[in-house]
Amino acid sequence: MADAARGHGAGSAAGLEHPGHHARVQHLRAQLRAVPRGSPIRLAKRTSNLFRGRGKVTPHGLDVSGFTEVLHVDPDGLTADVEGMVTYEQLVRATLEHGLMPLVVPQLKTITLGGAVTGLGIESSSFRHGMPHESVLELEILTGEGKVVVATPDNEHRDLFTGFPNSYGTLGYALRLRIALTPVKPYIRIRHIRHDDPDAYFAELDEVCRDGRYRGEPVDFVDGTVFGPGQQYLTLGTFTDTAPYTSDYTWLGIYYRSIRRRREDYLTVRDYLWRWDTDWFWCSGALGVQHRPVRLLLGRRLLRSDVYWKVVNFERKHRVMARIDAVRGAAPRETVVQDIEVPVDKAAEFLDFFEREIGISPVWVCPIQQRDRTRWPLYELDPDTLYVNFGFWSSVELDEGEHDGTHNRLIEQTVTRLGGRKSLYSASFYDRDEFWRLYDGTTYRALKQRYDPEQRLLDLYDKCVLGR
């Protein structure tokens, strides 16, 4: 392979096959060279799917907004070459034309492929395919040192390949990714199975994931929803060539409400992949858009997670509702927005703690297990263990004497005690020593020294905990 592919030039051989991509890489490197030595570097992004502070804007933001092309889909080789800022909505649109999909498609349309790989992701195929970074075959990365390197599982940059997931842009930025794809059928049959006992619920989830079957029928997707004590639902999806009908949850229908109302359902593959986006799971209810007249007025175009994000960002900036609550004398509230994973044999214990101490509902449940035995050091899971992800996104009233962070810190401590992991896309409260013990500070520092020796990119702790 040419020097360019080894990190001494502008891009890999694959990148050079796409002149537009090569030109964008060259332009980006010119931007970086124009930044004074010693000055910090950030991406000049207008949008984000992070639920934590993004730090102050620097005058040296790198513009990667042009890296939004699906460069190539190979239906025979079951791969796609994709630029880092391509959203999963774009990617799914391109791959479904060939009867294919990414192995794992995170729930929200505007999550980018590069973002999901450096910041992790999960969905109902994760019990079989793990996280999005596990289906990556090749990464083209702009490092903090200013080089463009191509990292694969077995080349001289394999340390960066395995260390990139969960680094959140502090080791470099993904410019191009080659990922594996999988064939799909046109429809997905859904079954919603109710449980009232958490032990039985997680035991059945474990069995289905281990066998890949339920009552003799294959299962391709597994997730669940807990609506409260005694209301646990296991949702199983199976590819099918035909469907007697298809439901529509892209406008007037609300997907999460159907879980308790229907035992069986059918969706097109596209609508299944985006079933959670229309109402941001259930969080759209807090914005008042789950009322039928409002939905009629807004239409499909505005019932999207990225639209809700704009509303939330406006509130973050101007604190309109917070001021109204203060005038009303309402008790202060702590935002509790997290995704965590615990081993399946600890899932019932975590749910008991969560319902007793936190009290948020509904809660999303999603099983996950690594595809193989690759070690991903900054977010290490036991490859022989099935984990259960719990996603919860709301706020909790603070009692007198409690400070902001009380409930989040309690969750962190419980997850650690149960042998689990916590995603860093939202606010974190670890002290520095604990953080680096959990997220392999030794490996991270070695990667930082090799690929960002002048510390021009943020430190992971500073970015994800201190919010710098």
Say if residue 56's pLDDT is above 80: no
* Of the candidates 133, 130, 119, the residue with the CA atom closest to the CA atom of residue 51: 119
Strands (E) located in 77-230: 79-83, 100-102, 136-143, 148-151, 172-183, 187-195, 213-214, 217-218, 221-228
What does the block give as tokens for 240? 């099918």
Which stretch of 134-143, 255-264, 323-332, 448-457 has the lowest confidence by average pLDDT?
A: 323-332
Q: 435-452 pLDDT, tens per residue? A: 999 999 999 999 999 999
Separate counts of helices (H) and strands (E) for the chain: 17, 18
Cross-strand bridge partners of residue 343: 387
Q: Where are the alpha helices (DSSP H) in 130-267?
A: 158-163, 198-211, 255-261
- Local confidence band at 6 (pLDDT 50, 70, 90 cut-offs): very low
- Local confidence band at 33 (pLDDT 50, 70, 90 cut-offs): confident
What does the block give as tokens for 134? 């596990």
Say if residue 55's pLDDT is above 90: no
**Cα 372 to chain centroid, rounded:** 20
Residues 6+ apart with CB under 8 A from 315: 321, 322
Residue 318 has a pLDDT of 78
DSSP state of 51: B
Q: State the average pLDDT over residues 246-272.
A: 98
Say if residue 275's pLDDT is above 70: yes
The residue ranges of every structural domain in the chain are: 3-184+446-464
Residue 51 has a pLDDT of 60
Say if residue 169's pLDDT is above 80: yes
Say if residue 49's pLDDT is above 60: no
Residue 1 has a pLDDT of 29
Angle (CA) 172-340-378 rounded to 5° is 30
Residue 67 has a pLDDT of 96
Give the DSSP per-residue string, 295-335: HHHHHHHH-SHHHHHHHHHHHHHH-HHHHHHHHHTPPPEEE
Residues 6+ apart with CB under 8 A from 207: none
Task: Return mean pLDDT, the chain.
Answer: 92
Rounded-to-integer distance, Cα 433 and Cα 260, Å: 44
CATH number of 3-184+446-464: 3.30.465.10
Residue 46 has a pLDDT of 62
Rounded-to-integer distance, Cα 373 and Cα 342, Å: 18
Our CA dihedral for 421, 422, 428, 430, rounded to 10 degrees, sits at -10
Say if residue 392's pLDDT is above 50: yes
* Of the candidates 297, 295, 270, the residue with the CA atom closest to the CA atom of residue 109: 270
What does the block give as tokens for 30? 């010119």
Rg (CA), the chain: 22
Q: 291-341 pLDDT, tens per residue? A: 999 999 999 999 999 999 899 888 777 777 777 777 777 888 999 999 999
